[in-house]
Amino acid sequence: MASIDRQLDTAFPKRHLQITPSNTVDIAIMPMAVYCAEDGTAQVVDIDGTVLPYVMTRGQILYIRPVRINATGTTGTFYALYN
């Protein structure tokens, strides 16, 4: 049972921080997911440097581990969810 508890302990994020979009500065901690706090578009940069826009609504969770959310083209408010 203890091993199941440890697996669940790492399966869900325990911390969060507001993402400040930037075209040059990466997110301090690579999140497990991105939560949308205010409707908008997130210009998501993945680990390979690929940028794609995600149109999101409040309460939506984007299950990707971005390195950065670019400022150019990003609207809305987003939180990084991490362990």
Kindly list the averaged pLDDT for each block of 10 residues, start to end, along the chain of length 83: 63 93 96 98 98 98 97 98 94
pLDDT at 50: 98
Residue 51 parent element (H or E): strand 51-56
pTM of the model as a whole? 0.87
pLDDT at 27: 96
- Dihedral sign for Cα atoms in the order 38, 46, 25, 14: positive
What are phi and psi for residue 35, nearest 5 degrees? -100, 135
pLDDT at 6: 63
